[in-house]
A and B are shown apart, each in its own frame.
Chain A
Amino acid sequence: MTSVRPKLKPETPKAVTAWETATGENVWMTADGGWTKDPAQIGAFTGEEAEARLADAQAQEGQVTDPYFMEVTETGGITGRETLRETIRATGPTVAYGDAG
């Protein structure tokens, strides 16, 4: 696994995130267990359900890579110790780049 992130307590709401294997684009699991590239659609899970969702993600190796838990609010908003990292990951670099840079 590439991403070893801070451990979260079972009761802490968490999302499952990964990289789409074919493109490397960031994906998040939705509440119904599908994948989205829209951070507004992030699903929040806790306890055993969260562990089961992560296991589901890990079983989808061809489609997604290196899934891990990230801390979110109960409604799927990015929060916690890694807010800055996960926000940048969700919304892109904080600096203009390429022709705009």
Chain B
Amino acid sequence: MYRYDEFDARIVSERVAQFRGQVERRLAGTLLEDEFKPLRLQNGVYLQLHAYMLRVAIPYGQLSGRQLRQLAVVARDYDRGYGHFTTRQNIQFNWVALKDIPDVLAKLAEVEMHAIQTSGNCIRNVTSDHFAGATKDELMDPRPWCEIIRQWSTFHPEFAFLPRKFKIAVTAAEHDRAAIRVHDIGLHIRKRGDVVGFEVHVGGGQGRTPHLATLVNEFVPEAELLDYLEAIMRVYNRFGRRDNKYKARIKILVSELGEGEFRRLVEEEYAAQRPQEKIDLPQAEIDRIHAYFAPPALAEKPATSDAFEALKAEDPEFARWARVNLHPHKTDGYASVTVSLKPVGGLAGDATDAQMMTVAHLAETYAYDDIRVSHAQNLVLPHVALDDLPDVYRELKAAGLHTANESLITDMIVCPGLDYCNLANARSIPVGQAVQQVFADPDYQEDIGRLHINISGCINACGHHHIGHIGILGVDKKGEEFYQITFGGRADEKAAIGSIAGPGLKADDVPSALKRVVDTYRDLRSDKSELFIETLARLGHDPFKEALYAAD
């Protein structure tokens, strides 16, 4: 993974010192909240329903064991013993006192972490495929390009005051696990002959006006990428709306201008860049960054493992976990392990300090010191030898981290909702837990197969309800919580925005209504291999709407 050089370390520590001074002045009352708010947001500090919340950047979701341990220490010593992993592959602490945040940031700086650009109208954390560098189905490892984009965008003076926040996602795999088409810019790495380049999608996003990104350029060669991104950002900075917060994202600009005009403006801007302002990333620099992401020196292994096969034969729970939570690795004898943070009845994406310590230990002992956070709010150990899976499983089980539900119906994306969030209109967590309960039977879940239910507690869509196969949106109707159901969203290479099924349901009615929908799918699917989203596409939404609103 990338390691800080002396400049990175100095910039981050200077930033901590600067924020310490700002906090001191805020506590003394010489900085007013209206003055302090943009400063705290630039350091990832929000004020939520109960307390300050600190959002820490995890670049493209990658952590070392040492970093995860330090996050555990922060959770234990400065919070209430847990942290919340987010859909942007970051972590949030819910209960940190403002007076302690400079100390927390200093702790994070010790392990090359910070909270810079995790809020505000700037380019945020670049996200990526959580199996990057490990998965069989990728063209190449996208992380070096995520890092190059991170370095280019961090403290970029021209893009510090954009009309609105800006999110970039990168994938290099045919199956898109980074949801690139619902990002402001989604990059898909392609090759033409020997030349690496990027398919550039612009203007995707969720929130109150969801849009899928438009393909703006089919192939931008790698050496030109940063200049091309600058052209896009300049067009956005110049023409993006600043008069209305709700119309300020680039998705609105692309939609209002139309695909052709937006592309023309970007190309005009690109052509207008003078030679002296071109970044023209030198190959030596591209190579230097790539070197940080050299694959781990995996010991050679046979394609099968006796220890792994023996435990599968002996322990059906382990066999299920292995069926559900392992992803094929590009190297024989290895797998990528999803550590589910979605136990039935738990809090999606939450991990206690002790659980973080366990995963850090496993990463250091068995997994080449590499941990990822997925946009589905789980953790991943990307490189584990099949021989070691029994030991890894035993330790996960002891820590309550062995839930076998990766991409199954209980692996829900759930925003914090009204239990924590100052913007939410309705609760998400208890509704998500109740939905999990009706599908809790592991055989039932496996029979249903891959089905993504996502829930948001307000229209801002942090719980990605628009792109859930089934989406749930909490709304407030005269002080009462109601939940709108959407069908047909998806986040992958066939990305789609779900459509609303009809009137909202009361919280208590949501689990049974969804059970009727899912059982209708089981009755109507052509065979067990046809996923819910495929049956929905084949038959249309009507049978499922009917089931949703049928009386119990």
Q: Could you list which residues of chain A lie within 8 angstroms of chain B, going by C-beta atoms?
A: 1-3, 19, 21-26, 60-63, 65-66, 80-85, 88-89, 92-95, 97-99, 101
B442-459 vs A, CB cutoff 8 Å, 1 = contact: the mask equals: 000000000000000000
Q: For the complex, what is the distance from the CA of A92 to the CA of B49, rounded to whole Å?
A: 9
- Give the contacts of B76-131 with A (CB-CB under 8 A): 80-82, 95-99
Q: Does the CB pair A101–B51 fall under 8 Å?
A: no
| A24, A61, A97: the one within 8 Å of B347 (CB) | A97
Residues of A within 8 Å of B418, CB to CB, are 84-85, 88
Residue among B50, B51, B352, B479 with the highest chain A CB neighbour number at 10 A: B50
- Whether a CB of chain A sits under 8 angstroms from the CB of B47 is yes
A22-B97, A97-B80 given; A2·B28 CB < 8 A: no
- Please give the distance in Å from B85's CB to the nearest CB on chain A: 14
29 contacts between A and B (CB under 8 A): A1-B34, A3-B422, A19-B51, A21-B27, A22-B27, A22-B97, A22-B99, A24-B97, A25-B50, A25-B51, A26-B50, A61-B29, A62-B27, A65-B33, A66-B33, A84-B479, A84-B481, A85-B418, A88-B49, A89-B50, A92-B50, A93-B420, A94-B427, A94-B429, A95-B347, A98-B350, A99-B81, A101-B82, A101-B347
Chain A CB within 8 A of B346 CB: yes
Chain B contact residue count (CB 8 A cutoff): 38
> Are B52 and A97 in contact, with the CB atoms below 8 A?
no
B28 smallest CB distance to A (angstroms) = 6
CB pair A98 B50 closer than 8 Å: no
Q: Are A98 and B80 in contact (CB under 8 A)?
A: yes
Main secondary structure of the interface of A (DSSP, over half): loop
Residue of A nearest to B35 (CB): A61
A93 in contact with B479 (CB, 8 Å): no
- CB contact between B352 and one of A19, A80, A92, A98 (< 8 Å): that residue: A98
When distances are taken between beta carbons in the complex, the residues of chain B under 8 Å from A21 are 26-27, 33, 98
| Beta-carbon contact of B82 and A97 below 8 Å | yes
CB-CB nearest in chain B for A90? B50
Q: Does B32 contact A (CB under 8 A)?
A: yes
How many pairs of residues, A versus B, come closer than 8 Å at their CB atoms?
95
The verdict on A23 contacting B99 (CB below 8 Å), with A2-B37, A2-B422 known, is yes
Q: DSSP class of B's interface residues: helix, strand, loop or mixed?
A: mixed
Contacts A22-B27, A97-B350, A98-B82; A89 near B97 (Cβ below 8 A): no
Do B98 and A95 have beta carbons less than 8 Å apart?
A: no
- Give A64's nearest chain B residue, CB to CB: B33
Residue contact A24 to B433, C-beta cutoff 8 Å:
no
User: Are the CB atoms of A65 and B479 closer together than 8 Å?
Assistant: no
Q: Which B residues are CB-close (under 8 A) to A1?
A: 33-34
- Among B34, B49, B418, B422: residue with most chain A CB under 10 A: B49
Q: Which residues in B have some Cβ–Cβ distance to A below 8 Å? A: 26-30, 32-34, 37, 47, 49-52, 80-82, 95-99, 346-347, 350, 352, 354, 418-420, 422, 427, 429-430, 433, 478-479, 481
CB B110 to nearest CB in A, in angstroms, measures 24
Question: Hey, which chain A residues are within 8 Å of B346, CB to CB?
Answer: 101
Give the 9 A-B CB pairs with smallest separation, nearest first. Answer: A62-B29, A24-B51, A24-B52, A93-B419, A23-B97, A98-B82, A98-B81, A22-B99, A81-B479
The smallest beta-carbon distance between A58 and chain B, in angstroms, is 9
Contacts of A99 in B (CB 8 A): 81-82, 352, 354
- Asked, given contacts A24-B47, A24-B51, A84-B481, whether A95 binds B433 with beta carbons under 8 Å apart, the answer is yes
Enumerate chain B residues within 8 angstroms of A61, measured Cβ to Cβ: 29, 32-33
CA distance A19 to B26 in the complex (A): 13
Note all chain B residues with C-beta closer than 8 A to A26.
Answer: 50
* 4 further A-B pairs in the complex, CB-CB below 8 A; given A3-B422, A24-B98: A62-B26, A63-B29, A84-B481, A101-B350
- Bound together, the chains give a CA A62 to CA B31 distance in angstroms of 8
Docked Cα-Cα span, A80 to B128, in Å, equals: 44
Cβ contact within 8 Å between B430 and A94: yes
Bound Cα distance A39, B290 (Å)? 56
Complex Cα–Cα for A21 and B22 (A):
13
A101 to B349, CA, bound (A): 12
CB distance from A101 to the nearest CB of B (A): 5
In the complex, chain B residues whose CB is within 8 Å of the CB of A66: 33, 47
Q: Which residues on the B side are within 8 Å of A83 (C-beta)?
A: 479
Closest-by-CB residue of B relative to A95 is B429
Chain A residues with CB below 8 A from B99, complex form: 22-23
Which A residues are in CB contact (< 8 Å) with B33?
Answer: 1-2, 21, 61, 65-66
Residue of chain B at shortest CB distance from A63: B29
Contacts of A80 in B (CB 8 A): 479
| Chain A, residue nearest B427 (CB) | A94
Contact B81 A89 (CB under 8 A): no
Q: A95 to B95: give the CA distance in the assembly, Å.
A: 15
The docked-state distance in angstroms from the alpha carbon of A19 to that of B422 is: 12
Most buried by A among B47, B96, B478: B47
Which residues of chain B have C-beta atoms less than 8 A from A24's C-beta?
Answer: 47, 50-52, 95-98
Q: Is the CB of A88 within 8 A of B419?
A: yes
* A60 CB contacts on chain B under 8 angstroms: 29
Our pick among A2, A81, A95 for the contact of B430 (Cβ within 8 Å) is: A95
Give bound CA distance, A81 to B480, whole Å.
8
A63 and B26 CA atoms in complex are apart in Å by 9
Residue ID in chain B nearest A101 by CB atoms = B347
- Complex CA–CA separation, A2 to B41 (angstroms): 12
Residues on B with C-beta less than 8 A from A94 are: 419, 427, 429-430
Residues of A within 8 A of B98 (CB): 21-24
Nearest-Cβ distance from residue A79 to partner chain B, whole angstroms: 10
Residues of A within 8 A of B52 (CB): 19, 24
